[in-house]
């Protein structure tokens, strides 16, 4: 009998739960340096837009957005004169609209920093695709209070929206085909295909 | 009646086995030999032609529980199973504990598809307190007495019953279950009952009464017959008692040599029965007992129950299983005994115990034509929906069996022809 | 654009059940415990509700009175946004005529995804499975099983015992290395039977402690990490958890014990005995307690008695079970075979 392994919080992921298969890389579209520069730029944009706001909460969508949210929160804290924002993780598995259509087991446990009443929440995810994960996140956030505003920061926008969701901050716009997959990690962003095993 | 010939089979009876045709007329066997003819031909090619089977122990439920079975439907099931005589147990409502009740059931039996005989109760109402009018019932031809469904709990009463019965030409039969030890257990007490969380009854619940009645039989000189023995211990005691010369006889059921308590794992009350299905060792002991003569007969303990009762929770459901239509197939396939020995256990030996001179006897001219024709190779799957019994509680649903009755004759009349009941 | 995907879950293929612990694999058991952590968080939210089982119907089919367990399940279902239906035998028109089967088939026809079943007779969940295609969750059948109680107990130990917390952090089976004593009327206890299976599957060794009259006739097949003893005082200092079973007052009428006083003297968890347990050992009881019989009041109320924690986590645990069976779309690896 094998022991159950705890789910690693910084596992790279795609926007959807993984189907079975092997990822074949076609090209690297962002390097680790590109990512660092994008994070720094987005951090400045966030500070610029929310100038004077003392109660920012930066919340990463598990699993893909967790490391990115931490990086953004550090970058924001590094900007001179700005206090560190509150940080958190949100797992939206139980709010998905496709439960029962594909296998879903929750990843990290949600930790929300205090009440969200009256705060500006910046949701952070690695890839924006159909928009359904973000819709589920907006739904989930309601259970924690009533934010003054919710903004969305993503590293990659790959198009193919199925809902009226748009990002406020984008690292890179990356047109993709439906049969392609985007893989994101701190080391880089790759585009490729998944071949079923 | 016109003549008919049962052609192409192998006649097997207490005398032995021989290829022969059998001519039947006016209710009797008139000729047995090769290449016989008659107006009507009944094909027995590849079959065994034997004296009709005799069941020492079945429940026909009439009067009082007609929802489960009637004398007519039970006898139809019997005839399809090759039976020509059935001994009906007295745990009807009201119990068969008087001449009037014996009359009632014998009357119902007159138009049945088997010869219906009746076992009378030992105690009034089967309550175990007062002796029933055994003599009055014996005068109507009742030869077997039992409180079946229960055993007689009181040793003093059982002793008096044995003494009283020993001057009548009757046999006392016992359903051995010490209720203080059994405590209403729903299955065999052991590994499975512990795992399933069900109250069980240990083998000693049966064995204590077997031991008691053997001692009382020794004391009183009465003839005692042990019903549905299910444990290795019981069978060993009976074997030893017979070796010591005691005039005891014993029977076992088909379910006790084919099933074990593991069958209860899915909590299907179809597998709930008294005495309960036991361990693999006990099952093997029943098989050995039938093979080596410790046990004299196979009885079905055919116990129909209305379907909704067998859908109650396991501990609440009534115990009992069907048996008449599947017995001979199971005996032929599972016992690994020669066909003559199987027929001895199912026909002529039980006939002797029941005192039925007309049944089980050798197939020879002049004797009543109570016969069955069995195809030992015919394979069939048990389907509860197509059984003749009114009830559905067979533990063999879906099981493939080998051996089927092709024809049955009761007093020369074909009650079953080509596997179909004729009325 | 999105492919037409077949609806997973109980409406397609084999229904998933939780009728006994042994129906689940070790992986399934650990999954449910991990999921419970998520559900505990949901229960702490200002709005403790998620839409995960929206549109599903969960039936409480209780033939034995147990308001607390039934409410725990119904709350769990509602927090997952499922609809609930309640059938309790005492308030219905079930008479001798209407059979168990008729009741179940009628309710099934109204459309249910899961049925939570409690009955005083062992085996009823298996019988009910024959008459409905819904997922069956056993909330207690006779003496036989009470799997959600066992999972809840395992969860409590996993959260409260330092050795279990280490095991989880290190990726081992959550109860690995723990020695758990189950004390009392094992023979008639469905909680004990489920716990024996759950605790061993999760890595613990188990000792049953009771007078012979309250032990089952046989423990064959109950597990390779199981021992049995009638000597409480000998085994007590070695236990990491003392799981105390309720002593029914009727047992002294049934010649199973001479008097309750003698039972307490030989097998009760008295303060003196509790003192001899290791410092971080836990005291547990499935409730309701007969204070002063199987457990002294002082022992029930001390800090390392986690009895109230057992109740609090119940809703979260049952949410995890309902989600795992109905919502996740991930089949149990244990699977059930009827």
A102 lies in some domain: yes
Domain boundaries, chain B: 4-48+365-421, 52-354
CATH topology of domain B52-354: TIM Barrel (3.20.20)
Range of the domain at A57: 32-176
- Residue A86 pairs in a beta bridge with A57
Which partners does chain C have (≥3 C-beta pairs < 8 Å)?
Answer: A, B
Instruction: Read off the pTM.
Output: 0.89
| A91 touching chain C per CB within 8 A | yes
- The share of chain C scoring above pLDDT 90, in percent, equals 72
**Position A21 in a domain:** no
Q: Which residues of B touch C98 (CB under 8 A)?
A: none
3-class secondary structure, C114: strand
- Work out whether the CA dihedral C254, C255, C259, C263 comes out positive or negative: negative
Q: What is the distance, to the nearest Å, from the Cα of residue A119 to the centroid of all Cα atoms in its chain?
A: 19
Contact: A144, C31; criterion CB under 8 Å:
no
d(CA C300, CA C296): 6
Q: Among residues B16, B78, B21, B63, which one has the least CA distance to residue B327?
A: B78
Alpha-carbon span B406 to B36, nearest angstrom? 20
Q: Tell me how many degrees the CA angle A36-A37-A38 measures, rounded to the nearest 5.
A: 90
- From B301, B358, B375, B383, the catalytic residue: B301
Per-residue pLDDT at C308: 72
Mean predicted lDDT score pLDDT of chain C: 89
User: According to the model, what pLDDT value does residue A3 have?
Assistant: 35
**Are the Cβ atoms of C127 and B311 closer than 8 angstroms?**
yes
CATH number, domain containing residue A84: 3.40.50.2020
- Residue A129 sits at the chain C interface (C-beta within 8 Å): no
- Mutation target to probe the C interface, by most C beta carbons within 10 A, among A7, A96, A98, A99 is A99
Asked if residue A108 belongs to a domain, the reply is yes
Domains in chain C with CATH codes = 21-144+313-327 (3.40.50.1370), 147-307 (3.40.50.1370)
Model pLDDT for residues C260-306, shown as the tens digit of each residue: 999 999 999 999 999 999 989 999 999 888 889 999 998 988 766 77
pLDDT at C214 over 70: yes
Contact at 8 Å (CB) between C169 and C176? no
Compute CA distances B146 → B57, B88, B150, B273, whole Å.
10, 11, 9, 18
Would the CB atoms of A105 and C31 count as touching at under 8 Å? yes
- Kindly give, in sequence order, each residue whose CB lies less than 8 Å from that of residue B337, ignoring residues fewer than 6 positions away: B290, B291, B331
Residue B315 a catalytic site member: no
The verdict on C9 touching A (C-beta cutoff 8 Å) is: yes
CATH 3.30.413.10 given to domain B4-48+365-421: no
Q: Which residues of C touch B202 (CB under 8 A)?
A: 217
Residue A194, domain member (yes or no)? no
Name the least confident of A2-11, C116-125, C149-158, C310-319. A2-11
Task: Quote the tokens at residue C127.
Answer: 């019988």
**CA proximity to C137, closest of C82, C59, C191, C22:** C59
Q: Is B16 exposed, middle or buried (0-12, 13-18, 19+ CB in 10 A)?
A: exposed
pLDDT at residue A96, as a whole number: 81
Q: CA C1, C7, C8, C13: dihedral to nearest 10 degrees?
A: -130
What is the distance between the alpha carbons of residues C173 and C319, in angstroms, rounded to a whole number?
A: 22
Q: Among A4, A105, A144, whose Cβ lies nearest the Cβ of C330?
A: A105
Number of structural domains, chain A? 1
Angle at B344 between CA B338 and CA B350, to 5 degrees: 155
Query: Residue B188's closest chain C neighbor by CA?
Result: C217
State how far the Cα of A133 lies from the Cα of C249, in Å rounded to an integer. Answer: 56
Here the ipTM equals 0.90
Q: Cβ of A99 and C45 within 8 Å?
A: no
Mutate to test the interface with C, among B189, B197, B314 (most CBs of C within 10 A): B197
Query: Does A25 map to a domain?
Result: no
- Asked if residue A143 is part of any domain, the answer here is yes
Tell me the C-alpha distance between B347 and B353, whole Å.
10
CB < 8 Å to B196, chain C = 122-123, 144
Write out B181-198 in H/E/C secondary structure. Answer: HHCCCCEECCHHHHHHCC
Question: Cα–Cα distance between B326 and B82 in angstroms, integer?
Answer: 10
Block means of pLDDT (10 residues each) for chain B, 423 residues, are 90 97 97 95 97 98 96 98 98 97 97 97 98 97 97 98 94 98 96 97 98 97 97 98 96 98 97 98 98 98 96 95 98 96 98 97 96 97 96 97 97 97 95
Neighbours of B224 (CB within 10 A): 25
Give the β-pairing of C282-284 and C241-244.
Answer: parallel
Residue segments in chain A with a per-residue pLDDT below the cut of 70: 1-20, 52-53, 81, 99-104, 197
Does C48 contact A at CB distance below 8 Å?
A: yes
B206 touches chain C (CB under 8 A): no
């Amino acid at each position: 009998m094998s022991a159950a392994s705890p789910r690693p919080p910084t596992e790279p992921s795609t926007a959807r739960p993984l189907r079975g298969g092997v990822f074949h890389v076609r090209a690297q579209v962002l390097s680790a340096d590109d990512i660092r520069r994008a994070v720094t730029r987005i951090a400045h944009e966030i500070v610029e837009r929310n100038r004077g706001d003392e109660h920012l909460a930066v919340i990463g969508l598990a699993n893909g957005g967790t490391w990115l949210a931490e990086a953004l929160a550090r970058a924001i804290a590094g900007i001179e004169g700005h206090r560190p924002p509150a940080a958190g993780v949100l797992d939206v598995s139980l709010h998905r609209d496709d439960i029962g259509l594909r296998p879903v087991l929750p990843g990290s446990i949600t930790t929300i920093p205090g009440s969200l009443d009256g705060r500006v929440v910046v949701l952070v995810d690695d890839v924006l695709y159909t928009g359904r994960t973000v819709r589920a996140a907006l739904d989930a956030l309601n259970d924690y209070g009533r934010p003054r505003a919710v903004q969305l920061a993503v590293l990659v926008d790959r198009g193919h929206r199925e809902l009226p969701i748009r990002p406020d901050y984008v690292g890179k716009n990356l047109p993709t085909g439906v049969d392609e997959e985007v893989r994101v990690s701190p080391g880089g962003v790759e585009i490729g295909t998944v071949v079923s095993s | 009646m016109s003549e008919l010939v049962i052609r192409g089979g192998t006649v097997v009876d207490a005398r032995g086995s021989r290829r022969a045709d059998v001519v039947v007329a006016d209710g009797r066997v008139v000729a047995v030999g090769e290449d016989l003819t008659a107006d009507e031909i009944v094909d027995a090619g590849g079959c065994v032609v034997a004296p009709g089977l005799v069941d020492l122990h079945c429940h026909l439920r009439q009067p009082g529980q007609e929802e489960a079975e009637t004398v007519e439907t039970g006898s139809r099931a019997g005839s399809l199973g090759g039976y020509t005589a059935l001994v009906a147990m007295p745990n009807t409502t009201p119990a068969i504990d008087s001449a009037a009740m014996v009359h009632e059931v014998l009357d119902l039996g007159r138009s049945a598809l088997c010869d219906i005989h009746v076992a009378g109760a030992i105690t009034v109402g089967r309550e175990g307190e007062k002796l029933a009018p055994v003599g009055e019932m014996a005068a109507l031809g009742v030869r077997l007495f039992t409180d079946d469904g229960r055993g007689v709990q009181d040793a003093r009463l059982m002793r008096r019953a044995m003494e009283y019965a020993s001057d009548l030409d009757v046999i006392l039969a016992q359903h051995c279950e010490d209720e203080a030890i059994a405590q209403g257990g729903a299955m065999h007490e052991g590994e499975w009952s512990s795992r399933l969380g069900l109250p069980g009854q240990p083998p000693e619940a049966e064995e204590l009464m077997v031991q008691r009645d053997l001692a009382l039989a020794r004391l009183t000189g009465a003839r005692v017959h042990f019903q549905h023995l299910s444990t290795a211990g019981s069978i060993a005691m009976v074997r030893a008692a017979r070796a010591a010369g005691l005039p005891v006889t014993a029977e076992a059921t088909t379910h006790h040599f084919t099933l074990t308590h593991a069958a209860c794992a899915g909590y299907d009350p179809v597998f709930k029965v008294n005495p309960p299905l036991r361990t693999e060792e006990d099952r093997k002991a029943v098989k050995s007992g039938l093979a080596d003569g410790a046990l004299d007969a196979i009885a079905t303990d055919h116990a129909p129950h209305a379907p909704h009762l067998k859908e109650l929770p396991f501990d609440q459901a009534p115990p009992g299983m069907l048996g008449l239509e599947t017995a001979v197939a199971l005996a032929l396939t599972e016992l690994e005994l020669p066909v003559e020995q199987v027929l001895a256990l199912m026909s002529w030996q039980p006939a002797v115990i029941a005192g039925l001179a007309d049944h089980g006897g050798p197939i020879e001219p002049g004797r009543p034509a109570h016969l069955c024709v069995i195809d030992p190779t015919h394979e069939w799957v048990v389907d509860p929906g197509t059984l003749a019994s009114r009830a559905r509680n067979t533990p063999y649903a879906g099981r493939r069996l080998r051996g089927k009755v092709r024809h049955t004759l009761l007093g020369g009349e074909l009650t079953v022809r080509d596997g179909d009941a004729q009325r | 654009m999105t492919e037409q995907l077949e609806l997973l879950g109980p409406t397609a293929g084999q229904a998933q059940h939780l009728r006994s612990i042994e129906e689940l694999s070790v992986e399934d058991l650990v999954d449910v415990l991990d999921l419970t952590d998520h559900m505990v968080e949901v229960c702490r939210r200002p709005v403790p509700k998620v839409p995960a089982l929206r549109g599903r119907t969960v039936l409480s089919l209780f033939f034995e009175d147990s308001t607390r367990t039934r409410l725990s399940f119904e709350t769990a279902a509602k927090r997952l946004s499922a609809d609930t239906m309640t059938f309790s035998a005492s308030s219905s028109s079930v008479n001798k005529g209407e059979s168990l089967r008729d009741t179940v088939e009628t309710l099934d026809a109204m459309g249910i995804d899961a049925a939570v079943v409690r009955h005083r007779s062992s085996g009823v969940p298996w019988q009910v499975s024959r008459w409905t295609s819904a997922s069956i969750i056993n909330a207690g059948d006779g003496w036989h099983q009470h799997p959600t109680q066992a999972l809840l107990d395992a969860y409590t130990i996993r959260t409260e015992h330092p050795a279990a917390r280490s095991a989880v952090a290190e990726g081992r089976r959550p109860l690995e290395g723990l020695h758990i004593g189950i004390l009392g009327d094992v023979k008639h206890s469905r909680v004990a039977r489920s716990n024996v299976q759950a605790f061993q599957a999760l890595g613990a060794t188990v000792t049953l402690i009771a007078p012979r009259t309250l032990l089952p006739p046989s423990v064959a097949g109950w597990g390779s990490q199981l021992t049995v003893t009638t000597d409480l005082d000998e085994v007590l200092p070695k236990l990491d958890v003392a799981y105390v079973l309720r002593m029914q007052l009727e047992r002294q009428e049934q010649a199973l014990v001479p008097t309750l006083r003698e039972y307490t003297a030989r097998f009760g968890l008295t303060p003196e005995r509790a003192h001899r347990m290791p410092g971080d050992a836990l005291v547990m009881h499935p409730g309701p307690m007969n204070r002063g019989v199987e457990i002294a009041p002082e022992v029930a109320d001390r800090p390392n008695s986690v009895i109230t924690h057992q109740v609090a986590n119940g809703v979260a645990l049952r949410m995890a079970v309902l989600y795992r069976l109905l919502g996740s779309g991930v089949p149990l690896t244990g699977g059930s075979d009827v």
